[in-house]
A = this chain, B = another copy of it.
Amino acid sequence: MSRRSLIATSALGLAAPALVAGATFADRPASAAAGATQRITIYAEALPGGLFGYGLAPGAATVPGPILEIWEGDTLEITLVNTTTQRLSIHPHGVDYSTDSDGSPLNASYNNPGETRTYVWRSREMIAATGRRFMPGSAGYWHYHDHAMGTDHGTAGIARGLYGALIVRRRGDILPERQFTVVFNDMMINNRMAPDTPMFEANLGQRVEWIAIGHGGTFHTFHLHAHRWADNRTGMLEGPADPSLVIDNKDLNPGSSFGFQVLAGEGVGPGVWMYHCHVQSHSDGGMVGLFLVRNADGSMPAGAEEAIHRFQGHSHSTAAHQAHGD
């Protein structure tokens, strides 16, 4: 998973230290883009097993698709290449777009089979309103998905893997060292069931970002063992007086998304920690995966191998996991 995010980060220029507007947003007109326009090409492709995926290069499609990141104020111009035989589109949450980038059949905004089409997603900082209030900016842990395959709401496209995470960062936000996308989609996680669900990995103390997305037709709650977060924009408290709820379990229903950062194993130590849907029949049915927190030097912590073997119900080498996780 971190593999894919690094690609995305590189593609979108996040590696460059982009610092920081401060409180200057109020004296810019709302329509002015604060920053740069990033241009990427996304390939929608058929995958084995009846799945479909988005990818940043031909043959690179994955489920979920790549993590897309921009700074608040920037514009993302996406050339979507539909390599499939199905009608499909890409529809974002949280950002600004005209009707022709809506990604919906309602607005005739989709790719026919084999068609290439450009979608423009803009973002902006908060806008001062009257009464010392602000119309919200675009910063957030959002997501994107198909809105045209199967039905006018993209029900078949979503069911078969056409979704991914979209992050709009505010200047000054803390950048993570690792990123994981977790999509609860009907009774699956990233269209997989245990023990084939993703095992995410980090070293003790690394700053890890989780982006959780809900899809499909069933209700879910996302739970992570031994870590917690604030139920606000960043998942961290914005100051000692931030009143936000601190939680380790949150509703994750269709169309919703949230994100947060934790320090891997902070206060609890390394080991194998579960993330799962807390609806009992869902976790029992396979909506569970592993978060492997390695020792700070990257070595396996005591007991981790045994836990992984218990989870998988068959022998599986550590090396193989490393290959998957990095």
Binding site for B on A (CB under 8 A): 23, 30-31, 93-94, 96-100, 102, 104-108, 122, 124, 126-127, 129-140, 151-153, 155, 158-159, 172-174, 214-217, 219, 221, 223, 225-226, 228-234, 236-251, 253-258, 262-263, 266-269, 271-274, 276, 278-284, 288, 303, 306-307, 310-311
Contact = CB atoms under 8 A, between A and B. Distances in A.
A219 B219 contact: yes
A94 B248 contact: yes
A262 B30 CA distance: 14
A102 B243 contact: no
A30 to B, nearest CB: 6
Query: How many chain copies?
Result: 3
Given A226-B96, A228-B136, A229-B136, A23 B240 contact: yes
Given A127-B266, A155-B284, A231-B245, 12 more contacts: A30-B266, A99-B271, A104-B274, A132-B238, A133-B236, A133-B239, A134-B242, A215-B280, A221-B255, A223-B255, A232-B245, A253-B278
Contact of A135 (B97, B105, B236): B236
Contacts of A131: 172-174
Given A253-B251, A256-B221, A274-B106, A246 B98 contact: no
Contact of A99 (B174, B216, B303, B310): B303
B234 A133 contact: yes
A257 B153 CA distance: 25
A237 B284 contact: no
